[in-house]
Structure 1
């Protein structure tokens, strides 16, 4: 134990000499959380993908139906203003980017609706404002499909009642009344998407990204210790330690302890941020988060040992570690919600540390389901075992090759 304590003191002195790196490791995570929360919160809120924009309504019909359509467009949050103009003026406004798109209503639209055969309108969009144009196109498409499906349903009802011997005048009057009520409901809708919430809480972007990115910061905190281990192996220090009573595993354990110490400081600072944002009620949830943090630190330390075993130099270890961590951040759902990633990424995320860490931390914070939290802890411990086993095999193979 004295050998381990001496080794830990030596490693700690080396790390403390480069105090600027430690300051960055402690400050940059807090800054990154604020930046991600401010920039990517629309992804979580699902309501501000684009800024409100102007659209042009070319009304060639001038009926009550088109008036209701204009009212509905004004009530949409994404529409800043509805501009009435002719088709030529609409093209000019789109070319100058004063409007994102234009909806062109054909002549005699109301008359064609009365005959249950509505004419098709057009949507003009802008190549420079593609996202906004597609949104307007989808709004128009959904509206037209809704009206068409309603007409088809009413037509089926008409045919069934006619086949059962109802008077044609009575059927026509009843169907027209039902159709008018249906179109009024469609045109008076104000929400594009109705979302049912299954939770009694709202996700705070700062807390979400703090807990999602914590594992990424923990993995980065292990890089200085990993480079120390790589340099010691390259200089032959580990080989010389094996010939002394202080075996090479002591320096490995020392690096893991140092990595855990740096991670603990990061965890403490991020939790302070979470408590400040979430309020005092969040303190009671910290107990369930600590085991997930410890398992994350273990998996991150094992991952750093694996990288140190693969790398031939400190610079190579630095490069491999940075690229691997960035890949995990993307695939594991730390930057973008995992549910929105393609199936290939979700399947690959099983092998990432941050997927299980963020899942366990978020579950411990919001849900408090012990079974799911234990599953995440178990997955992290399993990943640590896999990383350590792979590192042991690689280092053993390298020692045999050198000995041979």
Structure 2
């Protein structure tokens, strides 16, 4: 049984390598497109910008120092733009209209409240359409919260120690207990720029997985037209051998394509997709799902040309809906919801998380969902083959 499977797989692999189509789709096209995106979006300057509104209803020193420290932060020097607004309603309209990506609102008396050790809260306005600005604004507020907490604790400790109330503020400042300097070292922006080249390189790898696998699965329809499957039925081999053999070759070619695109982006442009083991596991699950889906298409198509058309449509529809071609956050809400029904959507989300510093555990969910899609599609394909091509 294993020998017959190896013979069928070896024959399929030689056929794909001889006609050149597999090599074109597996290596040349995705690597070339990923390289173009690397050249277009790579470089030293961050490809994204973030505009954040500041509503200073306090008028004290604290908002001024926050603004000064944020603009002086190395990670945000060429990324962040701050704009002033008179009140929260005006800033909210600007966020809704896309004029700014987020806004931070300092309430009246904030600096005095913090100086007296009574704490204080600021408000953050964000928009789903501009996630980078939201990340930066929330990171700034997290750091502000740390400053406020440190100052509050210092003031209370000074009062408990017997320092007169009118001397507490000066005492705290002279003893360096005003809290840490505002930095964004713990922010996802720190340690590297947000690189669109990573998104599009991985997107090309994910997209072409469908096209690469389809070069093998469509061969089942060709074999049916040529009578090869009929001859295999009377041979002393299991009926599922040609299906599994072609599926294995398609899977291996698609994984080779993904790895080649990944390696080229790393070697030529210095990009990082994240934890290698997690990337490999997630991409492997995606390729498995792509193989199952193209098998299902082959089982329902009447001709190889029809299968090619279906697979091409599915590949690009999944690529667009699933964030392989267009970032998910740039899509309307209802399309983002539809992305959850595609393996591309889960894979793109997982790869984005890995590029931001996630590990294997952080993508366990996406891997599980993509594998579930593969199992469902593969089971339906097996039933279809049993009733159709192999019946």
TM category (shorter chain) comes to 0.5 to 0.7
For 2:347 and 2:195, the matched residues in 1 are separated by 18
For 1:231 and 1:297, the matched residues in 2 are separated by 23
Unaligned runs of 5+ in 1: 49-76, 78-134, 143-153, 155-192
Q: Indicate yes or no: 2:368 matched with 1:378.
A: yes
Match of 1:227 among 199, 204, 218: 218
**Contact 2:297–2:310 under 8 Å retained in 1:** yes
Match of 1:250 among 241, 248, 257: 241
Q: Could you tell me how far 1:46 is from its partner in structure 2? A: 4.4
Q: Indicate yes or no: 2:260 matched with 1:269.
A: yes
1:174 maps to none
1:336 and 1:23, CA in 2 relative to 1: closer, same or farther beyond 3 A?
closer
**Contact 2:292–2:378 under 8 Å retained in 1:** yes
Match of 1:368 among 358, 372, 377: 358
Match of 1:241 among 207, 220, 232: 232
Q: Could you tell me how far 1:399 is from its partner in structure 2? A: 6.3
1:260 maps to 251
Partner SS for 1:202: coil
User: How many residue pairs align between the two structures?
Assistant: 264
Match of 2:349 among 359, 362, 385: 359
TM-score, normalization: structure 2?
0.59
Q: Which has the larger share of helix?
A: 1
Q: Could you tell me how far 1:268 is from its partner in structure 2? A: 2.8
Q: Indicate yes or no: 2:196 matched with 1:205.
A: yes
1:365 and 1:330, CA in 2 relative to 1: closer, same or farther beyond 3 A?
same
1:273 and 1:258, CA in 2 relative to 1: closer, same or farther beyond 3 A?
same
**Contact 2:25–2:211 under 8 Å retained in 1:** no
For 1:2 and 1:47, the matched residues in 2 are separated by 57
Q: Could you tell me how far 1:354 is from its partner in structure 2? A: 1.4
**Contact 2:339–2:345 under 8 Å retained in 1:** yes
**Contact 2:282–2:367 under 8 Å retained in 1:** yes
For 1:250 and 1:316, the matched residues in 2 are separated by 23
Partner SS for 2:388: helix
Unaligned runs of 5+ in 2: 51-77, 79-93, 101-107, 109-132, 140-186
String of CA shifts for 1:15-70, please: whole Å, max 9, x gaps: 121125513531111222244456689xx94449xxxxxxxxxxxxxxxxxxxxxx
1:236 and 1:250, CA in 2 relative to 1: closer, same or farther beyond 3 A?
same
**Contact 1:333–1:355 under 8 Å retained in 2:** yes
For 2:294 and 2:21, the matched residues in 1 are separated by 21
For 1:398 and 1:5, the matched residues in 2 are separated by 24
1:218 maps to 209
Q: Indicate yes or no: 2:308 matched with 1:307.
A: no
1:19 maps to 20
1:247 and 1:265, CA in 2 relative to 1: closer, same or farther beyond 3 A?
same
Matches within 5 A, 1:329-368: 329-368=319-358
RMSD: 3.5
